[in-house]
C-alpha cells in the first residue's frame, strides 16, 4: 500500500509539473503550435520595381511567371520523368535526373525550370492530366513566381544589370538599388478546420509592397546610337574593345554609357561589365587639359601667351620629345594644346610644380570615385606629389604614369564646359515608390575648380584642336566642337616586354577623344575610348571619327540647332526605338524615299605638322 501511495504521489506531482510548464514556463510554444494547426499562411508576392530610361522606356520589369519544381521523395521513376520533361523544358535529361533523384532522405525540393512561357505551361498541364503521364509526373508541379524581363534585350545591359534566379541583383543598377527594387512579400493568414478554411473564421492580410521604380538619366535612343557606332568602329579598326559616355555637361546627367568588346569571331558585342567605370587606362594627351587649365588659372595665361619650347627635354634620365620634331621656338599656349606638344606641356608643368599639378588633378576628379556608385567602380591610380619620382614630373602631365576611367575624363571636360564648375556625374533621375511618392536621392557634389575666364580660354584652345589641330576628324558641320585627342602607350601584360611599353614598332595603344559642343554654349559632351586598334593607332584617326558620328546623331535626336548653315539639311529627327536597323532608321527619317548608294568618303590625311603623335616620352617605363 505504501508503494502504491508513493506511485500515485509521483504521478500527481508529474501532472502538476506539466501543468506548470504549460501555463507558466512555456505557454508561448504550445500556443504557437495550436495556432499553426488551426491557421493557414499564404505568401503574397511583392513584385520588383522597374528600371526605366529618362522618358519612361522600360529597360527592366517584373511580370507573373511560372516555375517547375519537384519533390524528389514523391517521384517514383526519376529517369522516366526526366525523359518526359526534357524536350518540354529544353533541359538535358541528365540535369533533370539529378534534380529528381533525392540526395538524402530529407531532400524535398528540386527546381527543374526557373521560368517557362505560356505554351510550355499549357503543355505541362496536358502532361499532368494525361492518362499515360500523370502517374509518372507525380511529385512535380508548377508554382507562380516573379519573372524579370528586359524588353530591350542587351541594350544598356552593363548599366541596367541582371538578377539571379532568386531575383537578387548581381551587377549594374539591379545590384546598386537591390533593397529599393526588390520590394517586400506580403502574407494572408486564415483559420482552418479539418476540412479546410473556416467560412467565418478570422482572416488577416498583410499586403505585399512593390519595389521602387528607378528612373535613369539614360536616353535609350542615344544609348542605341552609341552602342551601334562603337560596334561598327570596333570591328572596322579590329580593336580589342571600345567604350563611350555621353552626358549633358550642364547637369552632369549621363545620357548614354556604352561598352563593346571584340569576340574571337571578330564581331564586337555588348558585354555584362561597364568599362567606363570599371576599366582604367593611361589616357595620354587627353589629360593635358588639366595641365594647361592649371597654367592659365595660376599664371593668367591666354591662348596667345608664348612659351619657350625646346625640341626635347630630359627629366631625370628620360628623354621627352615631340613627333614630328621641331626646332626650339616660342609657341603660343593654344598651339601647345592644338598640336599636342609634349615638351611644351612639360614646361608648363614645371612652372606649376608637382604639388600644384597634383592638387588640380584631384580637383578635376582623378584618383577618386566619381560618385555614380557602381559595383567595382575604379578610382584610378594617382600617387600624391611627394611620391612622384624619376620621370613622373614629365610623364604624368602628358597622361602617362597615371590611370583614369572614361567617366572621370568626361567629368573633367564637363568642368570646363560648365564654366569651371566640377559636377558629379548623375545616372539616376528619380526613385518612385509604388504609390507614386518620389524618394529623395543624394544631391550631386559640385565645386569650382577654375574660374570662368580660365574655362573660356581653355575652351577656345580646345576648339583649335578640332579646327586646326590633331582632332580635325571630330568636326561636326554646323557646330563648333571643343575637344582633345589622346594616344597613349599600353603596358605589355606578358611576353618579352611584360611590364614595359614595348619598343618602337612593337607597341599597343589606347586612343581617346573627349570634347563638348556647341563650344559657345555646351549642351552635349562625349568621350570615346578605343583599346588596342590594329588598323590605325592614333586618336585623330580612330577615336575622333567615332565622336563625330555619335555627335551627328545625338544632336538631331535631342534637337540642338546648328549655329551655321553648314549643318545637315535634314534637321532634327524623331527618336528611333531600340533595335531598329540602319535601313529602318533612314526610312523613318526619309519616308517614301529610296535610299541612295553613297560611295565611302576618301580619308583625309592628317597634316604632317598636326598628327597626333605617340604622346608619351620615349622610355618612360619607370613610371609604370
pLDDT at 22: 77
What pLDDT shows up at residue 107?
81
Query: Are the C-beta atoms of 501 and 481 separated by less than 8 Å?
Result: no
Classify 350 as helix, strand or coil. helix
Give the bridge partners for 62, in sequence order: 148
397 in a structural domain: yes
Are residues 248 and 341 located together in one domain of the fold? yes
Given a contact cutoff of 8 angstroms between Cβ atoms, the answer to whether 276 and 244 are in contact is yes
Kindly state whether residue 523 falls inside one of the protein's structural domains.
Answer: yes
Of 392, 399, 403, the C-alpha closest to 620 is: 392
Residue 598 lies in a domain: yes
Residue 285 sits in a domain whose CATH number is 3.40.710.10
- 394 shares a domain with 261: yes
Are the C-beta atoms of residues 61 and 225 closer than 8 Å to each other?
no
Does 232 fall in a domain?
A: yes
Distance CA 598, CA 587 (A): 16
* Whether this model's pTM surpasses 0.85: no
Model confidence over 206-259: pLDDT tens digits? 666 788 999 999 999 999 999 999 999 999 999 999 999 999 999 999 999 999
- Cell digits of residue 545: 571619327
pLDDT at 44: 57
Q: Is residue 163 part of a domain?
A: no
Per the structure, the count of domains in the chain is 2
- DSSP secondary structure letter of residue 440: P
Same domain, 116 and 265: no
Residue 256 pairs in a beta bridge with 246
Does any domain span residue 59? no
Residues 129 and 236 in one domain: no
Same domain, 479 and 598: yes
In a domain, 566, yes or no: yes
Residues 510 and 606 in one domain: yes
Last residue of a domain, one of 99, 125, 149: 149
Of the three residues 119, 149, 179, the one that is the final residue of a domain is 149
Q: Cα Rg for the chain, rounded, in angstroms? A: 33
User: CA 370 to CA 377: how far, in whole Å?
Assistant: 8
Is 279 inside any structural domain?
yes
Backbone torsions φ then ψ of 439, nearest 5 degrees: -90, 130
Q: At what angle do helices 342-352 and 288-299 cross, to 10 degrees?
A: 50
Q: What confidence score (pLDDT) does residue 579 get?
A: 46
pLDDT of residue 523: 95
- In this prediction, residue 569 carries a pLDDT of 45
Task: Report how far residue 253's alpha carbon sits from residue 423's, in angstroms, rounded to the nearest whole number.
Answer: 10
Q: Which of 92, 124, 149 is the last residue of a domain?
A: 149
Report the C-alpha gap between 364 and 581 in whole angstroms: 39
Cis peptide before 324 (omega within 30 of 0): yes
Residue 618's domain comprises: 220-428+447-623
Residues of the chain with pLDDT under 50: 195-197, 199, 568-581, 584-591, 597-624
Same domain, 466 and 600: yes
Residues 351 and 224 in one domain: yes
- Which pLDDT score, from 0 to 100, does residue 572 have? 38
Domain CATH for 124:
3.30.70.2110
Half-sphere exposure of 595 (CA within 13 A, CB side): 11
Are 298 and 378 contained in the same domain?
yes
The answer on 466 and 593 residing in a single domain is yes
Cα–Cα distance for residue pair 474/550, rounded to 1 Å: 10
* Alpha carbons 60 and 140: distance in angstroms, whole number: 30
* b/e sequence 520-548, b meaning 16+ C-beta within 10 Å: eebebbbbbbbbbbeebbbbbbbbbbbbb
> Which residues are known to be catalytic?
285
Q: Do residues 248 and 123 share a domain?
A: no
Q: Which three cell numbers stand for residue 502?
A: 614595348
* 481 plus 568 within the same structural domain: yes
Q: What is the pLDDT of residue 32?
A: 67
Q: What is the DSSP-derived secondary structure letter of residue 22?
A: I
Amino acid at each position: 500500500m505504501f508503494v502504491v501511495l508513493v506511485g500515485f504521489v509521483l504521478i500527481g506531482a508529474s501532472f502538476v509539473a506539466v501543468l506548470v510548464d504549460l501555463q507558466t514556463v512555456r505557454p508561448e510554444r504550445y500556443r504557437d503550435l495550436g495556432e499553426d494547426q488551426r491557421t493557414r499562411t499564404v505568401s503574397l508576392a511583392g513584385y520588383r520595381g522597374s528600371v526605366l530610361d529618362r522618358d519612361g522606356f522600360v529597360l527592366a520589369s517584373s511580370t507573373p511567371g511560372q516555375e517547375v519544381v519537384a519533390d524528389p521523395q514523391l517521384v517514383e521513376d526519376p529517369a522516366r520523368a526526366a525523359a518526359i520533361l526534357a524536350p518540354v523544358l529544353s533541359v538535358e535529361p541528365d540535369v533533370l535526373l539529378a534534380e529528381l533523384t533525392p540526395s538524402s532522405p530529407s531532400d524535398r525540393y528540386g527546381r527543374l525550370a526557373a521560368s517557362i512561357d505560356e505554351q510550355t505551361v499549357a503543355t505541362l498541364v496536358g502532361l499532368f492530366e494525361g492518362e499515360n503521364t500523370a502517374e509518372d509526373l507525380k511529385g512535380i508541379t508548377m508554382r507562380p513566381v516573379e519573372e524579370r524581363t528586359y524588353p530591350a534585350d542587351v541594350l544598356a545591359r552593363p548599366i541596367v544589370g541582371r538578377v539571379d534566379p532568386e531575383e537578387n541583383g548581381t551587377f549594374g543598377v539591379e545590384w546598386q538599388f537591390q533593397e529599393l527594387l526588390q520590394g517586400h512579400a506580403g502574407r494572408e493568414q486564415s483559420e482552418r478546420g479539418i476540412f479546410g478554411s473556416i467560412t467565418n473564421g478570422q482572416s488577416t492580410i498583410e499586403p505585399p509592397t512593390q519595389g521602387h521604380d528607378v528612373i535613369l538619366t539614360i536616353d535609350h535612343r542615344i544609348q542605341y546610337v552609341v552602342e551601334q557606332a562603337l560596334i561598327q568602329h570596333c570591328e572596322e579598326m579590329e580593336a580589342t574593345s571600345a567604350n563611350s559616355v555621353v552626358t549633358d555637361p550642364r547637369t552632369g546627367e549621363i545620357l548614354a554609357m556604352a561598352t563593346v568588346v571584340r569576340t574571337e569571331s571578330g564581331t564586337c558585342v555588348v558585354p555584362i561589365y561597364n568599362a567606363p567605370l570599371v576599366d582604367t587606362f593611361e589616357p595620354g594627351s587627353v589629360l593635358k587639359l588639366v595641365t594647361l587649365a592649371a597654367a592659365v588659372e595660376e599664371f593668367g595665361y591666354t591662348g596667345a601667351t608664348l612659351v619657350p619650347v625646346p625640341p626635347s627635354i630630359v627629366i631625370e634620365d628620360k628623354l621627352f620629345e615631340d613627333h614630328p620634331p621641331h626646332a626650339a621656338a616660342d609657341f603660343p599656349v593654344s598651339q601647345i594644346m592644338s598640336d599636342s606638344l609634349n615638351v611644351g606641356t612639360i614646361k608648363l608643368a614645371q612652372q606649376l610644380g608637382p604639388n600644384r599639378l597634383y592638387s588640380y588633378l584631384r580637383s578635376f576628379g582623378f584618383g577618386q570615385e566619381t560618385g555614380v556608385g557602381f559595383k567595382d567602380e575604379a578610382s584610378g591610380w594617382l600617387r600624391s606629389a611627394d611620391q612622384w619620382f624619376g620621370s613622373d614630373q614629365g610623364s604624368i602631365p602628358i597622361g602617362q604614369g597615371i590611370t583614369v576611367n572614361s567617366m572621370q575624363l568626361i567629368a573633367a571636360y564637363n568642368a570646363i564646359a560648365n564654366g569651371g564648375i566640377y559636377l558629379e556625374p548623375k545616372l539616376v533621375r528619380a526613385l518612385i515608390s509604388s504609390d507614386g511618392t518620389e524618394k529623395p536621392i543624394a544631391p550631386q557634389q559640385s565645386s569650382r575648380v577654375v574660374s570662368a575666364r580660365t574655362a573660356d580660354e581653355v575652351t577656345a584652345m580646345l576648339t583649335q584642336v578640332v579646327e586646326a589641330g590633331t582632332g580635325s576628324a571630330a568636326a561636326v558641320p554646323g557646330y563648333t566642337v571643343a575637344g582633345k585627342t589622346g594616344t597613349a602607350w599600353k603596358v605589355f601584360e606578358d611576353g618579352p616586354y611584360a611590364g614595359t611599353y614595348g619598343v618602337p614598332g612593337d607597341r599597343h595603344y589606347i586612343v581617346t577623344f573627349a570634347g563638348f559642343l556647341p563650344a559657345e554654349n555646351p549642351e552635349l559632351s562625349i568621350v570615346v575610348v578605343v583599346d588596342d586598334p590594329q588598323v590605325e593607332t592614333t586618336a585623330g584617326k580612330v577615336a575622333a571619327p567615332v565622336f563625330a558620328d555619335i555627335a551627328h546623331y545625338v544632336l538631331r535626336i535631342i534637337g540642338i540647332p546648328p549655329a551655321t548653315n553648314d549643318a545637315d539639311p535634314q534637321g532634327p529627327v524623331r527618336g528611333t526605338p531600340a533595335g531598329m536597323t540602319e535601313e529602318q532608321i533612314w526610312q523613318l527619317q526619309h519616308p517614301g524615299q529610296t535610299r541612295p548608294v553613297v560611295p565611302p568618303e576618301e580619308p583625309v590625311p592628317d597634316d604632317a605638322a598636326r598628327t597626333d603623335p605617340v604622346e608619351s616620352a620615349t622610355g618612360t617605363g619607370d613610371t609604370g
